[in-house]
Structure 1
Amino acid sequence: MTQINTLDPGASPLDYYGYELRRCREAAGLTQKQLGDILGYTSSLVGQIETARKVPTPEFSERADVALDTGGLLSRLVTLVMRSQLPAYFQHVAELEARASEICSFQIHMILGLLQTKAYAKAVLGSLDATNVDDRVAARLARQRIFEKDEPPVYWAILSEAALYQEIGGAGVMRGQLLKLLALEVNPRINVQVLPFKAGAHTALQGSFDLYRFEQDPAIVYTEGYGSGHPTANRATVRKCSLRYDHLRAAALSLKESAELIRHVMEERYGEQRGADGDPVA
C-alpha cells in the first residue's frame, strides 16, 4: 500500500495549503486524477501541490475553490503562499503593497515589478539564478493582484528613460513589456511617467526607492540593496523622500508624453524588422 505523505499544516503556508487542498478533495470524494480532470491539470500536479512540492497558482486556486466548493478558502491561502515564496527581506514589502492606499515608485534600470510581464520577470529573475524560476515569477506576478481589489491603491510609477532601452530578455520580450505599459494608459489608478535623459541631474540620483502611504498608518519609505531591504517610517526620511518624489514627478514627462516616448522606443528599437521582400528579419 502506498504511503501517503503527511504534512504538518503549521510548517509553512505551502504545507498548510497542501493540507487543506487534500482535506477538501477527500471530503468531496475525489481522487487526485478526478480533480485534475475537472480542473484541467494533471493528477501529478495535484499531487505535487498536496505534498508541498509545487507552488499553486492563483488560477489553480480559483478553479479548485469552485470545483470543491470551498467558499474561496484556497484563493485566500494562495496569497500567503505566494508571499512566502518571495525573498525573506521582501515579504514585508509585499504586505505593505497589499495595505497601501497609494504607492509611489521610482526605478532607474528596469521596469517595476508591479508592472512586469511574465516573460520580462522571468528574464530578470533568471539572470543570475534559474532555480525554481517559474515559481519565483509566479510569486512576483501575484503581487500585481493588488490592482484587482475593490479599492486598489493609486500607483505612481516613474521610470528612467534608461529602463526603456535596457534590453532585458530580447527585443520580443521588451516589445511585450512596453505594450503592457501602454495598455495601462486607460487605468486612472496606474500612472506611468518617464524621466527623460534630458532631465539631467535629478533628486533621485542616489537610486531607486518606493513610498507607501496608508489610510491610517504612517507612510513608509523603502530602499533596497543586494539581498537586503530597508523600510523606514522615520518622519524626517519620509518627508525628504516625499519631496524628492514630488520633484521627480515635476521633472518627468506628462502621462501623455510618457506614453508617446514609450511607443516611440517600442516601435523604433523593438519593432518587427522586415527585409526588402517584406519578410520579418530575425
Structure 2
Amino acid sequence: MRLWGRIDWYPEVQHPDWFERRAEMDAKAVALREYQEQVMPGLLQTPDYAHALFSRRITNAEKVEERVRARLSRQQRFLAAKGPLYVAVLDESCLRNVVGSLAVMRDQCAHLLRVGQYASIRVQVAPADRAELRRPKASMALITLPGGDEWLYSESLDRGHFHDDPAAFARHSQTYDVLRADALSAPESAALIGDFMEGYGDHGQAPAEHSDMDQEQLQPRRRRQLHRNSPRYPRRRPCP
C-alpha cells in the first residue's frame, strides 16, 4: 500500500498553459477550500463526467482524453490516505445541471458520497431555496501552501486569476466561512446528494454505500414524490 501511494499513475500529463500554476499549487497545497457553481469541481469529477464536460467544447478525441488524464492526475493526493484538507461547498446547480447523461450524473453523485466519507474531505451543498445565503460571485478556491502562503484563485473564460493580497484573501475567506456555516451540514448534504442520485435513476447499477447516519437522513427524504417528466431530481420545498 505504501508503494501504491508513491506511484504516479498519470505521468507526463499536459495541463492548459493558463492552468499550470494552479496544478502546481494543488500538488503541494496543505489545505484547499473551494466554492463551485454550475459544474462539479475538477478534484471531485469522475472520469466519465470529466470526459463529457471536455467533449462539449473539444472535438479532438485524443485532446479530450489528454485533458481528462490531466484532471484525474490532480485528484490523486487529495483522495489518498492522509491527503491534504479539502473542503468543497457546492452550489445546488452543480447537482442539477446534467453533464453527459443521467447515468453519468448518478455515478457522479455516488462518487461524491464516497469521497465525502474520507477523513480529510468534506462536501457540503448550498441549497437553491435559501435566498439568504451569501454566495461568492463566482467559483473560487482558497489555497494554503506549505509555510503559510495563501492564495485566492478564480477563473474567467480560459483564464486563471491568482491573488495573494492578504486583505483580499481575508475578505473572501470570511465570505466562504460564513457560507459554509450556513449551508447544509455534511450529513444533510449527503442526504440531498442521495436524493439527486436516486432521482437520476439506478440504470442497472448498484447504489452507493452510505453510513448509518446517511441512511437515517435519506429515508425521510426518499418518501417524497419525484417528478415523472424530465430528469427526476427532487423539487425542494421552500422553508416555512
TM category, shorter: 0.7 to 0.9
Supply the AA of the counterpart residue of 1:239.
Answer: A
User: Residue 146 in 1 paired to residue 84 in 2?
Assistant: no
User: Residue 127 in 1 paired to residue 19 in 2?
Assistant: no
Query: Which residue of 72, 83, 91 maps to 1:160?
Result: 91
**Secondary structure in 2 matching 1:176:** helix
**Secondary structure in 2 matching 1:169:** coil
Contact in 2 for aligned 1:100/1:213 (Cα 8 Å): yes
**Secondary structure in 1 matching 2:152:** strand
The 3 A distance-change label for structure 1 pair 76 and 257 is closer
User: Residue 115 in 1 paired to residue 58 in 2?
Assistant: no
What is aligned with 2:183?
252
What is aligned with 2:147?
216
What is aligned with 2:200?
269
User: Residue 103 in 1 paired to residue 46 in 2?
Assistant: no
Distance 2:103 2:88 in 1: 23
CA-based RMSD of the aligned residues comes to 2.2
What is aligned with 1:226?
157
TM-score with structure 2 setting the length: 0.77
What is aligned with 1:88?
17
TM-score with structure 1 setting the length: 0.66
The 3 A distance-change label for structure 1 pair 122 and 77 is closer
Distance 1:141 1:247 in 2: 30
Deviation at 1:149, TM superposition (A): 5.3
Contact in 2 for aligned 1:199/1:251 (Cα 8 Å): no
The 3 A distance-change label for structure 1 pair 191 and 269 is same
Distance 2:33 2:59 in 1: 30
Distance 1:129 1:236 in 2: 38
Contact in 2 for aligned 1:157/1:193 (Cα 8 Å): yes
**Secondary structure in 1 matching 2:89:** strand
**Secondary structure in 1 matching 2:57:** coil
Query: Which residue of 200, 207, 219 maps to 2:138?
Result: 207
**Secondary structure in 1 matching 2:172:** helix
- Pairing of 1:26-105 with structure 2 (within 5 A): 79=11, 81-82=12-13, 85-105=14-34
Deviation at 1:146, TM superposition (A): 1.5
Larger-Rg structure: 1
The 3 A distance-change label for structure 1 pair 264 and 95 is same
* Percentage of matched positions with identical amino acids: 33
Distance 1:172 1:228 in 2: 31
**Secondary structure in 1 matching 2:27:** helix
**Secondary structure in 2 matching 1:216:** helix
**Length, aligned pairs only:** 199
**Secondary structure in 2 matching 1:231:** strand
Supply the AA of the counterpart residue of 2:19.
Answer: F
Supply the AA of the counterpart residue of 2:99.
Answer: I
What is aligned with 1:11?
none
Deviation at 1:101, TM superposition (A): 0.8
Supply the AA of the counterpart residue of 1:114.
Answer: L
**Secondary structure in 2 matching 1:199:** coil
The 3 A distance-change label for structure 1 pair 151 and 263 is closer
More helix by share: 1
**Secondary structure in 2 matching 1:109:** coil
Deviation at 1:217, TM superposition (A): 3.5
CA offsets, 1:220-252, max 9 Å, x none?
000100011001110011000110110110121
What is aligned with 1:191?
122
Distance 2:196 2:9 in 1: 40
